Amino acid sequence: MKRKIAVALAAAVVLAVVGGIAIQADEFTKKDQERWEKEYMSVVQKGRELWTSPQLGTNGVACAQCHPNAANTHPETYPKFQQQLGRVIALREMINWCIQQPLEGKPLALDSPDMVALEAYVAYERRGVALAPGKH
């Protein structure tokens, strides 16, 4: 009996600790939200700068020349079967394809901050559109 109480007490302590942490994690403030939004928008802004600048390639061509406001990039449809490549790819692989072909540049590392910024910008311009993975 004593043992059962000890186990129950221990479980209660564990729950309290875990639960306590969980409560703490939920307690973000409006200030936190504003900071996170600002962080996100600064990366979107960096993405927009990359999108409109010739620095990703070697021939002076910028993404925005063919994709004003990142239109016709369909981020909501990825990952999808890219029929020209014959397999399912992520948007960032298509971004690298464009950097290598029309921009005649070197592909970015898939987790590079520049690639994240480009994806953030493309997604931001497409905000409000429902996810449609695989759509053509």
Q: Which residues bind another protein (CB under 8 A)?
A: 52, 58-61, 64-69, 71-72, 74, 84, 97-98, 101-102, 125-129, 136
Report the nearest approach of another protein to the CB of residue 39 (Å).
21
Q: 61 vs 116, which CB is nearer to another protein?
A: 61
Contact (Cβ atoms closer than 8 angstroms) between residue 1 and residue 9: no
Residue closer to another protein (CB basis): 68 or 113? 68
Identify the helix (H) or strand (E) that includes residue 120. Answer: helix 113-125
Q: Choose between 37 and 104: whose C-beta lies nearer to another protein.
A: 104
Nearest in space to 98 (alpha carbons), one of 55, 62, 48, 44? 62
Which residue reads 């931001």 in tokens? 124
Kindly tell me which of 31 and 87 has the beta carbon lying closer to another protein. 87
Chain Cα centroid distance, residue 67: 19
**Strand-strand pairing, 87-89 and 80-82:** antiparallel
CB of 25 to another protein, least distance (A): 33
State the nearest-atom distance from the C-beta of 35 to another protein, in Å: 25
Whether residue 118 contacts residue 51, with contact meaning beta carbons closer than 8 Å, is answered with yes
CB of 135 to another protein, least distance (A): 8
